Structure 1
């Protein structure tokens, strides 16, 4: 499909192209792979999964998480093919929901996506800061890291990612391709190094592949394994980024599903061997779980190589690859904010919806994301437990934002609301959507359960408190600022008809002037013509 045809389709949906279509399929798959960063995400949370379900639980939780994420993302890919607009979840919720609820469903799902991306970005930047300080601790054991030390490093990472997204905006496709190749090279080299260096002193195969003993205090190893699976989901988080960047690629209806699904398969293929190498290298589990640096991965590297230099090099390259995740997070956050602001969803939307003419990016939205993520980091100064709960809520918000449109789809009937699309789940659609919704409900519940017994104020799981608190703030913004004013995504009246109230509201001028027509009120009708 030629670019002008993509632009015409976008205009038919109510928007003019403002971003250059500079990404190829490979460069966006590379960006999505850098963002999900599955093998790095697995390494970052390895200590938690070992404690929850030992080595075997750590390994086998990865394919389970990959399978369920693939099912959820398959439904997302179908919606991205049906509605290739950068707003993604908030846009889908609007056009799938009934007239009475579409504006509210769109508003809430948009905020779930935004909050999820902000929290996920904070998690990535914080872990990179921990990696850097862990290398310092390895060489200087007397060094006592303070929370404010980590926050300063965290701050530098956040704004370096913002700077690269700004001044290197036109080089982002090249940067992501480079990071993709670097990540594969680093992963291969690290996996081989761990296997070779530990060939004469490694963990028993029975422990590596069969032991699921948990140290959480929960009496059931099966339940502890499910905790490990919920932990492994973090390594596959962010598969919807391809939907948010679909306006920057040609033929998005056909290519966006590839960008959403391919990184999950690549992530599984890369993360599982890496996890096997790490588990095989462990000779002292207690030292891994109680490392003074607070980072189990560096202890695993050191137990394998018995060299501070080798461990530092492996961890430094790991951190560089993980930094690519922070850059990709910044890219996706800015596009998500910009897309929803085009329709007046956020306070001061006119500011965040502007495209900078020099850098050709939503610079204001990017700066807002950097500022909010920086402020998130301040929570770490007061309590690392509270900060962990903030970033843990990222799983709930992002996964729920992907499942909610699929729940609406099931409720209203797929054939009644879905338009024609290049990527279709066909007869498997209802099953995929049902499994995705059921999985996310289960995941939301289990993510809020304490991971250790007995529960203390230090190990208490505050994710439910954070999730309810942030959702309440969003609801208050809606009630006092956006109710009756936020009308949802726009659509030219000659292409699609909405009910009169949705079009002729007081704030209608903010979206342009629409006139109602006699065409079908179902938003899918335009797409089926």
Structure 2
């Protein structure tokens, strides 16, 4: 399909092209890989996994979390092929829902996606800030990092990512390819270094692959392992990235599913060997869990290499790769806000839906994301525990936003609501959609459970508080400012699997026409 055909297809769905189609499949796979950053995400959460279910729990939870996320992502890939629009989950929910609920459902799911991206981006920036401060602590043990030190570094990382997205907007495909290569080289070099340096002093294989000591305080070892699995899901977040940038590649209906599925397969293939190397290198588990820097990964590197210099270099490279995740988060989140604002879903949507003519990016939406994330970081000046709840909330919001359209497909019937598409799950579709929905419901419950017992003020799980508070905020926005005004995407009717655009000058929807994807004679 050529560029003009892609533009015509986009116009048939209610939008005109505003973003340049500058990404190739490889550059967008590289961006998606940088964003999911599975091996880095695994490294950032290893300490929690070890605490919950020891080495074996940390290692074996990865393929389980990866496999379940792959199933969820397969359903996402099919929907991205059926409806290749940057609004993604928001747009799919509207097109799949019945006329009575489509506006409300799409509004809520659009906000779930935005909030999920904000929280995921904040968690990545916070971890990079912690990494950089831990390197300083390694060399200067007397240094005491204050919360405001970390916040300043955190904010610097947020706005550095904005600068790169803005002034380097035209070289983003090149940057993501470069980051992909650097990440692969760093991963390979780090894994080999850990194995080689630890060859004479390493953890026994029985501990690495067989120890599942329960450190949660819960009486059930099975529950401890389930908590470790939920912790590993964080490393696979962001597989829907390609769906939000589908208007910036050619033939998105065909290529977007490739991007979504390849990113998770590459992530799964890189995270597990890296986790094994880290477990292999540990010689003092308690020192890893109680490291003064608060970053177990740097203690693992130091126990393996016995060198501050080598550990610092490896961690600096790790931080750079994770910074690629932050840049990709900014790219994706800005596109999500821009796409949803085109239909007036956000307050002051006219501002966020603008594409900057010089940089050819939704600069206002990018600035909004960075501002919200910077302000959110102020929370850990008062409570690091409350701030860490964003990891669980990010998983809940992003995964739920991906599962909701699949739940609607199951409820209304796949044959009735899905148009012809380049990528179809075929006979496996109902099973994949059902497993995806059940998996996300299961995760949503698990993430509300306390991760340690007995529960104290210090170890309380604030995910439920953060999630409930943000959900009430979104519901309040809808009922007090958008109810009766927000009509969703500018779609009139479906005809033979093709969404027809609203004629020029019209901004309303005929809600008497239900969404029916069956071909009409």
TM range (shorter): over 0.9
Cα distance in 2 between the residues matched to 1:40 and 1:237: 12
> Does residue 1:126 correspond to 2:142, yes or no?
no
Cα distance 1:286–1:429, how it changes in 2: closer, same or farther (>3 A)?
A: same
Could you tell me how far 1:487 is from its partner in structure 2?
0.1
Cα distance in 1 between the residues matched to 2:506 and 2:450: 49
What residue in structure 1 maps to residue 276 of structure 2?
A: 276
> Does residue 1:262 correspond to 2:256, yes or no?
no
What residue in structure 2 maps to residue 512 of structure 1?
A: 506
Cα distance in 2 between the residues matched to 1:494 and 1:229: 41
What residue in structure 2 maps to residue 477 of structure 1?
A: 477
Cα distance 1:131–1:313, how it changes in 2: closer, same or farther (>3 A)?
A: same
Contact persistence 1:396–1:443 (CA under 8 A) = yes
After TM superposition, the structure 1 stretch with the greater mean CA deviation from structure 2, 212-221 or 120-129, is: 212-221
What residue in structure 2 maps to residue 468 of structure 1?
A: 468
What residue in structure 1 maps to residue 325 of structure 2?
A: 325
Cα distance in 2 between the residues matched to 1:91 and 1:494: 14
Could you tell me how far 1:494 is from its partner in structure 2?
9.1
What residue in structure 2 maps to residue 142 of structure 1?
A: 142
Could you tell me how far 1:27 is from its partner in structure 2?
0.2
What residue in structure 1 maps to residue 381 of structure 2?
A: 381
Contact persistence 2:19–2:360 (CA under 8 A) = yes
> Does residue 1:521 correspond to 2:514, yes or no?
yes
What residue in structure 2 maps to residue 89 of structure 1?
A: 89
Cα distance 1:302–1:359, how it changes in 2: closer, same or farther (>3 A)?
A: same
Cα distance 1:510–1:104, how it changes in 2: closer, same or farther (>3 A)?
A: farther
Structure 1 residues 343-386: Cα deviation after superposition (integer angstroms, max 9, x where no partner): 00000000000000000000000000000000110111111011
Structure 1 residues 216-265: Cα deviation after superposition (integer angstroms, max 9, x where no partner): 11111111011000000000000001000000000000000011110111
Cα distance in 2 between the residues matched to 1:163 and 1:492: 39
Cα distance in 2 between the residues matched to 1:244 and 1:386: 29
What residue in structure 1 maps to residue 37 of structure 2?
A: 37
Helix, strand or coil: the match of 1:111? helix
- C-alpha root-mean-square deviation of aligned residues, in Å? 1.9
Could you tell me how far 1:214 is from its partner in structure 2?
1.5
Cα distance 1:163–1:511, how it changes in 2: closer, same or farther (>3 A)?
A: farther
Cα distance in 2 between the residues matched to 1:440 and 1:514: 34
Could you tell me how far 1:495 is from its partner in structure 2?
5.9
Cα distance in 2 between the residues matched to 1:131 and 1:511: 52
Contact persistence 2:32–2:259 (CA under 8 A) = yes
Cα distance 1:82–1:494, how it changes in 2: closer, same or farther (>3 A)?
A: closer
Contact persistence 2:334–2:362 (CA under 8 A) = yes
Could you tell me how far 1:491 is from its partner in structure 2?
2.1
Cα distance in 1 between the residues matched to 2:111 and 2:187: 35
What residue in structure 1 maps to residue 152 of structure 2?
A: 152
Could you tell me how far 1:511 is from its partner in structure 2?
7.4
Cα distance in 1 between the residues matched to 2:27 and 2:497: 37
Cα distance in 2 between the residues matched to 1:265 and 1:197: 29
What residue in structure 2 maps to residue 426 of structure 1?
A: 426
Extract unaligned runs of 5+ from structure 1. none
Cα distance in 2 between the residues matched to 1:431 and 1:497: 23
Contact persistence 1:6–1:250 (CA under 8 A) = yes
Cα distance in 1 between the residues matched to 2:127 and 2:516: 43
What residue in structure 2 maps to residue 54 of structure 1?
A: 54
Helix, strand or coil: the match of 2:491? coil
Cα distance in 1 between the residues matched to 2:334 and 2:268: 27
Could you tell me how far 1:517 is from its partner in structure 2?
11
Helix, strand or coil: the match of 2:114? helix
Instruction: Please show how residues 302-381 of structure 1 align to structure 2 within 5 Å.
Output: 302-381=302-381
Could you tell me how far 1:208 is from its partner in structure 2?
0.2
Contact persistence 2:72–2:403 (CA under 8 A) = yes
- Aligned residue pairs: how many? 519
Cα distance 1:220–1:250, how it changes in 2: closer, same or farther (>3 A)?
A: same
What residue in structure 2 maps to residue 199 of structure 1?
A: 199
Helix, strand or coil: the match of 2:490? coil
Could you tell me how far 1:514 is from its partner in structure 2?
5.6
Helix, strand or coil: the match of 1:345? coil
Instruction: Please show how residues 95-134 of structure 1 align to structure 2 within 5 Å.
Output: 95-134=95-134
Moved over 3 A (4+): 492-498, 508-511, 513-518
Cα distance in 2 between the residues matched to 1:516 and 1:455: 53
Contact persistence 1:52–1:216 (CA under 8 A) = yes
Cα distance in 2 between the residues matched to 1:516 and 1:378: 45
Could you tell me how far 1:493 is from its partner in structure 2?
5.9
Could you tell me how far 1:53 is from its partner in structure 2?
0.7
Extract unaligned runs of 5+ from structure 2. none
